Chains A and B, each alone.
Chain A
Amino acid sequence: MTLLWIPMLTLLGVLVPALTAQRGRPICTLATAALPTLALILTLAQFPAIADGEYPRVALEWMPQLGLDLAFRLDGLSLLFNILILGIGLLILLYAHYYLDKSESHGRFYAYLILFMASMVGIVMADNLLVLWVFWEMTSLSSFLLIGFWSHRSEARKGARMAMTVTGAGGLALLAGFLLLGDIVGSFDMQTVLDSADLILADPRYPLVLILVLLGAFTKSAQFPFHFWLPHAMAAPTPVSAYLHSATMVKAGIFLMARLHPALAGSELWTALVAVIGITTMVYAAWFALVESDLKGILAFSTVSHLGLITVLLGIGSPMAVLAALFHILNHATFKAALFMCSGIIDHEAGTRDLSRLGKLAKAMPITCLVMSIAGAAMAGFPLFNGFLSKEMFFESTLHTQALGGLSLILPVLATIGGALSVGYSVRLVHAVFFAEPRHAPPKHPHEPPRLMRAPAELLAALCVAIGLFPALMATWLLAPAVEAVLQAPLEFHLAIWHGFNLPLAMSGAAAAAGITAYVLHRYIRRFIRDFPSRNANLIFEGTVQYISDKAEVVTEFFDNGSLQRFMALLIGTALLMGAIGLFQVETLTGPKGNQPLDGVLILGAVLLIFTGIGTAVTHRQRLLSLIMLSVVGLIVSLTFARFSAPDLALTQLSVEVVTMILLMLALFFLPQKTPRESSPGRSLRDVIMCSGLGVVIAALNYAVLTRDTSTISSFFLENSVPGGGGHNVVNVILVDFRGFDTLGEITVLAIAGLAILKLLNRLRLFMPHSDSDGRIWCPDRYPMILTTVSQPVLPLALLVSVFIFLRGHNLPGGGFIAGLITAVGLILVYMARGVDWTQQRLAFPYQPIAILGVGIATLTGFGSWLFGYPFLTSSYDHFHIPLIGDLELATALLFDLGVYLAVVGATLMILANLGKVTTSHRPSKDDSTPIPSGLHRTDVIDAANPKPDAKETV
């Protein structure tokens, strides 16, 4: 389990800077360093086991159905990378401590940095493809945060976005590749995949898998043609560049290729793709490094170039090449981190990174000069430095490979050219900054940085020399297990600084000579390339992004241009098309069951429904008439329910109908009374045809289903209603027991709708006419005598009926919903007859708490079953009978229904009574559309709306 602590400690470390940021930077830095240090120690503690050829691993089941285990391993390869990630990460932390400006948020920076570190550790230790992928995406996200750390700078934002887009897109390709790989192998377990090379190579999907995985690796490791994001990522603070582009982020792609080497590499396709892309990247980027004039730009392109070098080696794939690749990963991480740190120091102390403004700094910064010279020499591959050794091995590998068949000779040639360019830009980097005469003066007077800011770079430079001088001593212990992990077999090798006079040495010599010449002739080269049109990758990228988003906008605009009518028409058209296609495949519309006989009442009802349904649509410009038609539809629908054996539905529909109509009447008062004629005849015709079409489809579908036998699960409810739910009314038992969770959700929605309406009514600006649309003022009799008189006895009656309906609900038609609606209707009648003021004095309780109480009671009833060890809302019928209280089964069902009742009453009145209250500060005005603020006397909507029918509004 200690293994699990390595990634977990690092991940936990993200919280440390957040917690200690307020305590000052020194404490924060030290505290932040603690957990990664511990992780590094734990990693090193595993070394003896790894050196013995085992690899410790740990796996926790996460989602076993998906083959996803939280599995980590620590083999030689993970060890090498973990040391680089954690070790250099700690050095970067120290460096950043001095680098960041006092005003900058070190807590946030450290948190991002540690998050990134943890993601990298996760990648290299993952023992499951999917786990690897999750951490892979985490590096994309955290590097986005790091690169865009200076978010006030446009270039930082753009650079971060570009890195995110490119590596994120690669990540998606990688996921696809991993899923295919898992499908081929039958497991996402790393070792199973690594052991299944034969299976993978034989699969016809292998080329696709390879390309998808390589897309992920190449985008991450900035290989041509995806290299362009890396130079733009230099907008990040230098510690970030030093970390991401030496030891970590860009090495993730390399790591992936090394990790999957045993599984994927054994084909010509692998060699050709990886080697060609690698060598192209190496030479191409080296050329740009030579002609770049920004210090970090040179380093960025040189990083891309060296990544290309490692890629070539992995492409060649011979044991020696793999060794060289791993060796160069180590060497590159040391010298490139040192170089980035030095460039950051120079930027920090001299105020610029522009080579034309830098020069002669050797005197002012002698130690930085020494450090950077050592690291530069290592990058150039000069003897006695570590870069020399891996570069020699690289040359050697290119000479001995037949990877490209007859064209294999091109590899050493291009390698030498790349090496020469590498010498050229390395020499230029050091010479131009420290020894050459500057063309312009730097903005600041340069001097040495604080002692400890330099320390990390000094340590790394010392390592460059130490490894360069004593490779066998310094590097073999680390490389041997790593090579074993990649090759899946131990490799005998000996690292030495001197191999005698041989061809690789000659290539190095040629490269050094050519490189120095190139630097001497640098002026002419720059003049030569000035004639080429310059292409800024950022502009191209931004242009492409803009183009895609423009096109996407056009498409979106077509479907959703802000017009609801357009949107609805598309929706209806699509439904019509899909429904018609489906129906077209039905062979006979009338099913085997056929029709039941008709009777006169049914025909009358249907004719009325059809007439009023069409009438609602036809008269929609005269809104009141349309509304009356609608109410007739609602009434007949409730009769239909009653006719077809659904008394509960009929009762619900009837009471909802009353409430809905009152609501719509009220609302209509505040809206224009008539609809202007707007649609063109063509438009209306189109709508009629389309809606009729969909109506026909719906009717046909309904008919087709009704005349067929359908299988149903209802027999379960019918059989278990009495024994399981203790009620004879199956519909009610379903609502409060079998499907109680649905009902709970539903009353919650109802309560939320009520609250949302309350919010919408808040500070509502109202338009209220003082007369109807024909200019007749409303009836002055605000509280009609008959209504007032009638409403008085109706309320207690309604309440009585509610109680009756509620109590019998479990066994006969009724229940909480219907009872709640009846209570609400009774109360609303009082509001209408007496006005808000009168009613408020007598019924002074708010409705929001009632609705919430209802939902609460229902929820608590559900929790109640937990107390007895049963799942949420379990039927408690035969689980507990307590004397004195009696049959508690009935009590719990009633309790839930009580919640429903309260929620319905509360929500309904919240909607209607609050709508009634909003009108009290506005006077009805003459002009339909001009509100007059500050009312003269308080009116209630309900008062005002109520006389409307009396006012004989013509429609």
Chain B
Amino acid sequence: MELLYAITTGVLSASGLYLTLRGRTFPVVVGLTLLSYAVNLFLFSMGGLTSNAPAIIGDSSHYSDPLPQALVLTAIVIGFAMTAFAVILAMRARGDMGNDHVDGRKAEDRGERR
């Protein structure tokens, strides 16, 4: 189970990273989102993989580690804020630069037709 989990995390990270290396804004935003999923899974697993033992006092005798969960919960919401900011920035860049390339140069400077 742990091995499969780790492989999944690795695959998601690799896919996300590959997308962040693309030259257009939208794939990069998608890649960042994917990467944040992978990172959240990674961080979450730092408390160990526990089945059927949510950290709610009184439900069972042992509990999953609540601390990584609390950290990841905030990370998910912050990740949303980051994705939103990045994608709106991408829209703005397209509006101001005339293209959706990540380097933020104007279309004329890039030698392209707008």
Q: Are B54 and A656 in contact (CB under 8 A)?
A: no
In chain B between 69 and 114, which residues have their CB closer than 8 angstroms to a CB of chain A?
Answer: 69-70, 72-74, 76-85, 87-92, 94-96, 98, 100, 102-105, 114
Q: Are A764 and B91 in contact (CB under 8 A)?
A: yes
Interface presence of A734 (CB below 8 A): yes
Q: How far is A248 from B80 in the complex, measured between Cα atoms in Å? A: 58
Interface presence of A713 (CB below 8 A): yes
* Residue of A598, A691, A812 with most partner-chain B CB within 10 A: A691
In chain A between 625 and 665, which residues have their CB closer than 8 angstroms to a CB of chain B?
Answer: 626-627, 630, 633-634, 637, 640-641, 643-649, 652-653, 656, 659-660, 663-664
Q: Are A718 and B4 in contact (CB under 8 A)?
A: no
Known: A702-B5, A746-B74, A749-B78. Contact between A620 and B22, CB under 8 A?
Answer: yes
Q: Are A730 and B38 in contact (CB under 8 A)?
A: no
Interface presence of A712 (CB below 8 A): yes
Interface readout for B1-36 with A: 1 if CB under 8 Å, 0 if not? Answer: 111111111111111111111111111111101100
Q: What's the nearest-Cβ distance from chain B to residue A576, in Å?
A: 10
How many residues of A are counted as interface, with CB atoms below 8 angstroms from the partner's CB atoms? Answer: 114
With a cutoff of 8 Å between Cβ atoms, the chain B residues found around residue A663 in the complex are 83-84, 87
**Chain A at the B interface: mostly helix, strand, loop or mixed?**
helix
With a cutoff of 8 Å between Cβ atoms, the chain B residues found around residue A692 in the complex are 14
Q: Are B69 and A731 in contact (CB under 8 A)?
A: yes
Interface readout for B47-76 with A: 1 if CB under 8 Å, 0 if not? Answer: 111111111111000011111011011101
With a cutoff of 8 Å between Cβ atoms, the chain B residues found around residue A765 in the complex are 95-96
Q: Are B7 and A646 in contact (CB under 8 A)?
A: no
Known: A695-B17, A714-B67, A734-B66. Contact between A648 and B73, CB under 8 A?
Answer: yes
In chain A between 681 and 711, which residues have their CB closer than 8 angstroms to a CB of chain B?
Answer: 687-688, 690-692, 694-700, 702-703, 705-707, 710
Q: What's the nearest-Cβ distance from chain A to residue B89, in Å?
A: 6
* Residue of B58, B67, B84 with most partner-chain A CB within 10 A: B84
Q: Are A603 and B80 in contact (CB under 8 A)?
A: no
Q: What's the nearest-Cβ distance from chain B to residue A911, in Å?
A: 5
Q: Are A670 and B84 in contact (CB under 8 A)?
A: no
How many residues of B are counted as interface, with CB atoms below 8 angstroms from the partner's CB atoms? Answer: 89
Q: How far is A908 from B76 in the complex, measured between Cα atoms in Å? A: 13
With a cutoff of 8 Å between Cβ atoms, the chain B residues found around residue A722 in the complex are 57
Q: Are A717 and B67 in contact (CB under 8 A)?
A: yes
Q: Are B88 and A757 in contact (CB under 8 A)?
A: yes
Q: How far is A572 from B27 in the complex, measured between Cα atoms in Å? A: 17
Q: Are A915 and B88 in contact (CB under 8 A)?
A: yes
Q: Are B66 and A717 in contact (CB under 8 A)?
A: yes
Q: What's the nearest-Cβ distance from chain A to residue B109, in Å?
A: 10
In chain A between 701 and 753, which residues have their CB closer than 8 angstroms to a CB of chain B?
Answer: 702-703, 705-707, 710, 712-714, 717-718, 721-722, 728-731, 734-735, 739, 742-743, 746, 749-750, 753
Q: What's the nearest-Cβ distance from chain A to residue B57, in Å?
A: 4
Q: How far is A813 from B33 in the complex, measured between Cα atoms in Å? A: 25
* Residue of B3, B6, B91 with most partner-chain A CB within 10 A: B91
Interface presence of A48 (CB below 8 A): no
Considering the complex of A and B, which 6 residue pairs feature the smallest CB-CB distances, nearest first?
Answer: A699-B10, A695-B14, A703-B6, A765-B95, A753-B81, A645-B64
A649-B76, A698-B38, A911-B84 known; 18 other A-B pairs, CB under 8 Å? A565-B23, A568-B21, A609-B11, A613-B11, A613-B12, A634-B33, A641-B44, A644-B45, A645-B52, A652-B73, A676-B24, A690-B21, A700-B6, A703-B7, A710-B48, A730-B56, A766-B91, A766-B95
